Amino acid sequence: MLLTIRAHSRRRLGQSAVEFALMAPVFFLLLVGTLDFGRAGFYYVVTSDLARTSARVAAAYDTGNGQTDASITSLLQQQARSMTFSTLTQPAACGTSTPPSPLTSCYQPTTGSGFIFIDRSGFASFPKYVKVSIVYHFEATTPMVRALMSTNYFVATATMVTEF
């Protein structure tokens, strides 16, 4: 009887190693994929926060016409650097209008960077408002998650009524 138990246990000696070898890639893919989705959520929240902050700055300070586009862009670039954005610029070729719903090539920044659009077309009538849009290009670090997510552009738009 004891002999048959030992013979049976010898056949199963490598079973746990094989099971681990089969499950380890799936486990680590889920772990790193969770980190990538966390990064995506972080950049989505930061993009919307930067748009809201810049619209608030453009609308709240009374200097006759509000802050200039250059001062708003400078403030945003400082905040973006502290929030790990690589670059945040205002593209000259696209104009200052709000980005279209499917983004055209003019409105698509390179990976890890973003564009700022300050739209003051609401100054023509009362109440005056300013609209700030930020487009950020996010790319996942994990190849499998990158294949699932493809190319992601986070577009955040904030509109504030001016105080002047």
Residue 154: per-residue pLDDT: 87
* Over residues 68-94, mean pLDDT: 77
Query: For residue 23, what pLDDT band results from cuts at 50, 70 and 90?
Result: very high
Least confident of 40-49, 74-83, 151-160: 74-83
Q: How far is CA 143 from CA 39, 112, 118, 139, in A?
A: 15, 16, 35, 10
- The per-residue pLDDT for range 83-137, each reduced to its tens digit, is 777 777 777 766 666 676 666 666 677 677 788 888 877 667 778 788 888 888 8
Q: Which residues lie closer than 8 Å to 130 by C-beta, 6 or more apart?
A: 55, 58, 59, 66, 118, 119, 120, 122, 123, 159, 160, 162
Least confident of 10-19, 34-43, 74-83, 103-112: 103-112
Residue 1: per-residue pLDDT: 58
Query: What are the residue ranges spanned by the domains of the chain?
Result: 15-161
Q: Is residue 158 pLDDT above 60, yes or no?
A: yes
Q: What is the mean pLDDT of the chain?
A: 78
- CA–CA distance, 124 with 132 (Å, rounded to integer): 16
**Range of 56-60, 77-81, 132-136, 160-164 with top mean pLDDT:** 132-136
Residue 64 DSSP class: S
- CA–CA distance, 37 with 41 (Å, rounded to integer): 6
Q: Is residue 62 pLDDT above 60, yes or no?
A: no
Residue 37: per-residue pLDDT: 86
* Over residues 35-60, mean pLDDT: 87
